[in-house]
Amino acid sequence: MNLLLAINAKIPVDYYGGTERVIWHLGKELTKMGHTVSYLAQEGSYCDFAKVIPYQKSKKIAEQIPLDTHLVHFNFTPESVEEIKVPYIITMHGNTNNLMPLNLNTVFVSRNHASRFGSVSYVYNGLDWNDYALPDFNMKRTSFHFLGKAAWRIKNVQGAIDIIRASPQETLNVLGGTRFNFKMGLRFTFSKRIHFYGMVGGTNKTKLLNQSKGLLFPVRWHEPFGLAILESLYYGCPVFGTPYGSLPEFVPDELGFLSNKKSELVEAIQNASRYSMKTCHEYALTKFNSNKMALDYLEKYQRVLDGEKLNETAPQLKEIQKEKFLDWME
């Protein structure tokens, strides 16, 4: 099958870039399965296992699809979709807060994500764990960590910092943020128990995760998926977060603790050692790998090629979220 994976970003990604990483691993897996994969991606992208076509914003999307393409997998919502003559699906990776109906061939990234739009069409993201170093269960676990774009206030790095400040014996490594933040509301963090590493990747990221007692993830929005959860679990880190979006779906009781109350999370992290690092690792390894993701997408591709629609009715947000941030309490 000739497949075109379209993404409005540059690939590959070195540090942060959840969607880019997922789509890279999807293309790699589909190629292993014998399919011919091409990417439609931003100028400057490159790939050693697939052809890359530079995405031109000034040109109609339909004109950028090779004639021999059997199916297009969009990872953004294309304009003038009615002009596209080949079968396609659209994966929605983020959130929207309007009641505009979505395309009938929309795929979401978690059950919760889909349900908030009245849909049952979803595929879990997966990663090629061969691209990751193995976890070290013998390394001493000394700190907790936060992983994500700390500048996004919905990610609530301040909540993670407050949990550690209320836990005198604990320290926090912030992967994805800086000590001084001027962009998303003024923030200064002077505590010696809070360490900032910016956008970190490679061996530095591996080392920090292998030293972590657990992920602090007190998000204040409905997390559509959360690659930070997967990567942390892979390295044996239980998850301590809020019960929003995909988190209840991905973090059963044996892998972590969820609450929107700081005091309860402060208490929970005191018992972080009770969670099995190997159980966390095996869960991520088996449930969220790129092979499983590719097989699930191939099932969606085939349905569309057979003339089906992935949703009986157009997915539509059930309820507008009026508050900017979901509850976070003391």
Contact between 231 and 214 under an 8 Å Cβ cutoff? The reply is: no
Average pLDDT over residues 113-133: 97
pLDDT in tens, 3-42: 999 999 999 987 667 899 999 999 999 999 999 999 999 9
From CA 89, how far away is CA 87, in angstroms rounded? Answer: 7
pLDDT in tens, 142-153: 999 999 987 789
Sheet holding 143-147, edge to edge: 194-196, 172-175, 143-147, 212-217, 239-241, 256-258
Percent of the chain predicted with pLDDT > 90: 87
Q: Is the full-model pTM beyond 0.85?
A: yes
| Residue 202 in this model has a pLDDT that exceeds 90 | no
Contact between 211 and 204 under an 8 Å Cβ cutoff? The reply is: no
So where are the chain's domains?
A: 2-128+291-305, 133-286
Residue 19, token pair as written in the block: 């969607």
pLDDT in tens, 57-101: 899 999 999 999 999 999 999 988 889 999 999 999 999 999 999
For domain 2-128+291-305, the CATH class is alpha beta
Residue 316, token pair as written in the block: 């539509």
Closest CA to 179 of 188, 169, 192, 167: 188
Residue 183, token pair as written in the block: 């962009």
| Residue 184 in this model has a pLDDT that exceeds 60 | no
Same topology between domain 2-128+291-305 and domain 133-286? yes
Percent of the chain predicted with pLDDT > 70: 95
**Does residue 278 sit in helix, strand or coil?**
helix
Q: What is the dihedral of CA 240, 245, 251, 256, to 10 degrees?
A: 10
From CA 216, how far away is CA 147, in angstroms rounded? Answer: 8
The verdict on domain 133-286 having CATH code 3.40.50.2000 is yes
- Burial (CB count <10 Å: 0-12, 13-18, 19+), residue 177: buried
Residue 136, token pair as written in the block: 């070290």
Which stretch of DSSP H or E encloses residue 142?
A: none
> Half-sphere exposure (CA, 13 Å, Cβ side) for 234?
23
